[in-house]
Chains A and B, each alone.
Chain A
Amino acid sequence: MLTDALGAMFSVLGDPSLLLLIFITTIGGVIIGALPGLGATTGAALLLPFTLTMDPVHAITVLTTIYVSATFAGSITAILINTPGTAAAAATCLDGYPLAQRGEAGRALGIAVVASTIGGIFSVVVLAIAAPLLARVAYEFRPPEYFALTIFGLAMLASISQGGAIRNLMGGVFGVWLATIGADATTGVERFMFGNYDLYEGLNFIPVLVGLFAISELLVQSTTLNQVFERISMKAVKLPTMADYRKIWKAVLRSCGIGTFIGILPAEGATVASMIGYSEAKRWSKTPEEFGKGAVEGVAGAEAANNAATGGAMVPTLVLGIPGSGTTAVILVGLLVHGLRPGPHLFTEQIEKVYAIFGAMFVANVMFFILGLFAAKLFARVTLVPRGMLWPVVLAFSVLGAYSLDQAMVDVYIALIFGVIGYLFRRFGFALAPVAIGLILGEMVETNLQNSLKMFDGQWWMIPMQPLAALFLVLAVLGISQPYILGYLSRRKAAQQQK
């Protein structure tokens, strides 16, 4: 069985159509990632409707390729114009841009490409090994364990970097509530439909995600039209020298581990991973005073971590059906739309497809390495596209993308409404990934709670009596309190240092 799986993984190399698809999608992903505002999540949400007529492996390959290539490409604008193309590249700005200001943009991009590729490939290897092992454990999960696990996933929203713990939790619970719209799965009682039978099966995920990520971003971009980017020119991307490798290898290895681990945690993602990867690179550096002024370890630490998180985030997505990040929430919707129900059964019933997806992710990492080295300068020019031309096109694709799934205009209206809701959320400091994750986990939370109550004849207190469920619930409490514990500890440390 393992040989079959590995065979499926490397069958990608013998499928020219899939290789061509990965190549084209990598170009698209790098362009999307390089354009400020259009990140991996928005890109995946916009492209998801275009995958509807593809076979499942090709469709998920498109989405995962966008994920890994756009995550890397955020570093291009982070280094050249001090504006991260994706949130995950925010930490790359801190040292990438100072390097570029010193005339070393090519060196910074070379280090970013190499570190991202190593991080990405490392995480795919971990994904291929860890996911089937975790799936075996998950096979034993019953409704109480799944319920507790989803609570753990929601609790982890507290530590997503943007927004803050309370706002993130509120966003997550709001997302869960959105999932209650429609007919109740157990009883068929209509909830919050107001007589609109288009909502009988609940809100379609695609229009909600398109609205939240693409249309709200359009409105956000409209607030920054007067912003002028200062661009730094670059001759060519330079591969790191031996001296550079000696300087960065420890940071890269550390960030590979950090990024993959952070990615595996439900609801965490590349943004958190890159921040921690950067902080750890600084903490362990022999020259921490250089950080913020153009330290190559800073670029390597952040970039290896954010790409390592991509493979890690796919682990809970595929094995447990719990998205590891905003982008994997979109990928999870893609899996569902194509009839691949995430969970341990996926690893027994459709193992070849799963390993083909792993293989495609591996190849995508190699593709963006090649494209990053030879065409980063070209891709950097996409930031010159006037926003007055780019965003109307994004609106058109958003509208048609929302419409195409069920060919119902109500989905377009839902996308527009969630575009405005998403904008207002961001306007008042709420991140959108928790809402998306909550929406996707919503049905899972309620159904598993109902099934648990049925199992225990309505005795809810029996849920935390199950050992594994109790473990997840304890982890959930720690997840919620973690930002406050860390805040208290850092304040205490600062007070001690002042004394």
Chain B
Amino acid sequence: MSINENQRLSSESEIGEAKKGVGWGDYIVPVVVFVFCAVVIAIAMTLEEAIPLIVGHSMQPRVFPIFLMAVIAVLNVALIFQIVRSPVSRRDWEPIQTWASAGLLLLFFLLAKYIDTLVALVIVMFMMSIVWGERRIWVAAILALGTTAFIFFSFDQILQVRFPRGLLTDAYYG
């Protein structure tokens, strides 16, 4: 196997199993990119105009982002041609653990925002250990509690980092 073949295969199989033939994943990217470019350009058009400079001419703040989106759109057209010429992937859906892990990131956000960052960290670490295959509940619990405690005290005492106020931190900071 040549080095290029190996590179291509390793890149293709990085996430999910690649199968031959055109799949939804191949065209969803260009569609999303076009929508993104259109939205950014629309927002950029609403940006306020800057006062002209006294000396020399420069560009308005909206120009550069619009230019960037135009470049991405042109590259996106090239990407579509590339996909049409050589369709590569039809991939399986993510396994349940990936959805669960993404869900735990969302759970972390909600717990950190509305309850306490440290509580969020303990709960999410514990649940992630279980989701990722740790069968010993006590190991997952010790890992979650121990890591959070270590991080809290090392950041608080050594790095002088103050954590955001919440259920536990209110009790600690007073």
Cβ of A10 within 8 Å of any chain B Cβ, yes or no, is no
**Binary contact readout B131-174 vs A (1 if CB under 8 angstroms, 0 otherwise):** 11110000110011001100100010011111110000000000
Q: Give the chain A neighbours of B163 by CB distance below 8 A.
A: 403
Q: In the complex, A228→B10 CA distance in Å?
A: 17
Q: Which of A106-114, A179-187, A243-251 contacts B (4 or more CB under 8 A)?
A: A179-187
Partner among B15, B56, B121 whose Cβ is within 8 Å of the Cβ of A427:
B15
B132 touching A170, Cβ below 8 Å: no
Residues from chain B with a CB closer than 8 A to the CB of A458 are 56-59
Q: How far is the CB of A316 from chain B (nearest CB, A)?
A: 22
Contact A429 to B11, CB < 8 A, known contacts A219-B98, A225-B132, A457-B56: yes
Q: Is the CB of A223 within 8 A of B95?
A: yes
Q: A429-B89, A457-B56 are in contact. Are A392 and B72 (CB under 8 A)?
A: no
Binds B, one of A60-68, A124-132, A404-412: A404-412
A53 interface residue per 8 A CB criterion:
yes
A177 partner residues in chain B, CB cutoff 8 A: 40, 65, 68-69, 72
Nearest Cβ on chain A to B135's Cβ, whole angstroms: 9
**Which of A53, A91, A449 is the one whose CB lies under 8 Å from B3?**
A91
Q: With CB as the reference atom, state the residue of chain A lying closest to B106.
A: A416
B58 near A186 with CB under 8 A, answer: yes
Contact yes or no, B128 A392, CB < 8 A: yes
Q: How far is the CA of A187 from the CA of B51 in the complex (A)?
A: 8
Q: Are A176 and B68 in contact (CB under 8 A)?
A: yes
- Docked complex: A406-423 residues within 8 A CB-CB of B: 407, 409, 412-413, 416, 419-420, 423
Number of interface residues of A (CB under 8 A): 74
Complex Cα spacing A176 to B33, Å: 15
Q: Is the CB of A453 within 8 A of B155?
A: no
Q: Is A226 an interface residue (CB 8 A)?
A: yes
A142 within 8 A of B: no
Given contacts A191-B47, A409-B164, A419-B105, contact A392 B65 (CB under 8 A): no
- Whether A403 contacts B64 by the Cβ 8 Å rule is no
Mark out the residues of chain A between 158 and 186 whose CB falls within 8 Å of any chain B CB in the assembled complex: 161-164, 166-167, 169-170, 173-174, 176-177, 180, 184, 186
B71 near A392: Cβ-Cβ < 8 Å = no
Q: Does A213 contact B (CB under 8 A)?
A: no
Give the residue among B33, B126, B147 with the most A Cβ atoms within 10 A: B147
Interface stretch among A320-328, A356-364, A382-390? A382-390
Within 8 Å of chain B (Cβ to Cβ): is A446? yes
Whether A53 pairs with B158 at a CB distance below 8 angstroms is yes
Shortest A397–chain B CB gap in Å is: 7
Docked CA distance A170–B57 (Å): 29
Check B57–A407 contact: CB distance below 8 A. Answer: no
Q: Does chain A have a CB within 8 A of B124?
A: yes
Within 8 A of A (CB), among B49-84: 49-51, 53, 55-59, 61-62, 64-65, 68-69, 71-72, 75-76, 78-79, 82
A413 to B98, Cβ gap below 8 A?
no
- Which residue of chain B lies nearest to A90 when distances are taken between CB atoms in the complex? B10
Contact B58 A453 (CB under 8 A): yes
B115 contacts partner chain A, Cβ-Cβ < 8 Å: no
Question: Are A416 and B3 in contact, with the CB atoms below 8 A?
Answer: no
Query: Which of A49, A184, A190 gathers the greatest number of chain B CB atoms within 10 Å?
Result: A184
Contact check, B56 vs A170: say whether CB atoms are below 8 A apart. Answer: no
Contacting residue for A416 out of B7, B65, B109, CB 8 A: B109
Whether A416 pairs with B108 at a CB distance below 8 angstroms is yes
Mask of B81-114 contacts with A, CB within 8 angstroms, 1/0: 0100000110100110110111001001100110
Cβ-based interface call for B21 (8 A)? no
A458 and B63 alpha carbons, distance in the complex (Å): 13
List chain A residues, Cβ under 8 A from B101. 218-219, 222
Evaluate contact between A173 and B108: CB separation under 8 angstroms: no
Contacts of A231 in B (CB 8 A): none
Contact residues in A for B51 (Cβ distance below 8 Å): 187
Interchain nearest-CB distance for A167 vs B (Å): 7
In the complex, which of the residues A397, A403, A416 contacts B161, with contact meaning CB atoms closer than 8 Å? A403
Check B11–A169 contact: CB distance below 8 A: no
A399 touches B121 (CB 8 A): yes
Partner of A454, one of B10, B58, B121: B58
- A395-B128 in contact (CB<8A): yes
- Inter-chain contact A166/B82, CB cutoff 8 Å: yes
Interface presence of A275 (CB below 8 A): yes
A50 at the B interface (CB under 8 A): yes
Contact between A454 and B15, CB atoms less than 8 A apart:
no
When chains A and B are docked, how far (Å) is the Cα of A279 from the Cα of B6? 12
Contact between B132 and A215 (Cβ–Cβ < 8 Å)?
no
A28 at the interface (CB under 8 A from B): no
Compute how far the CA of A279 lies from the CA of B2 in the bound complex, rounded to whole angstroms.
Answer: 9
CA distance A395 to B109 in the complex (A): 13
* 26 A-B interface contacts by CB (under 8 A): A90-B6, A94-B3, A94-B6, A161-B11, A177-B65, A177-B72, A180-B68, A189-B48, A189-B61, A191-B44, A220-B14, A388-B128, A388-B140, A392-B126, A393-B125, A395-B125, A396-B121, A400-B161, A412-B112, A420-B102, A427-B91, A428-B29, A453-B58, A455-B56, A457-B57, A458-B58
Known: A191-B65, A215-B105. 14 other contacts (CB 8 A): A53-B160, A191-B47, A191-B62, A218-B101, A225-B95, A225-B132, A389-B134, A399-B121, A403-B161, A404-B155, A423-B102, A426-B14, A429-B88, A449-B64
B contacts, CB < 8 Å to A: 1, 3, 6-7, 10-12, 14-16, 25, 28-29, 33, 40, 43-44, 47-51, 53, 55-59, 61-62, 64-65, 68-69, 71-72, 75-76, 78-79, 82, 88-89, 91, 94-95, 97-98, 100-102, 105, 108-109, 112-113, 117, 121, 124-126, 128-134, 139-140, 143-144, 147-148, 151, 155, 158-164
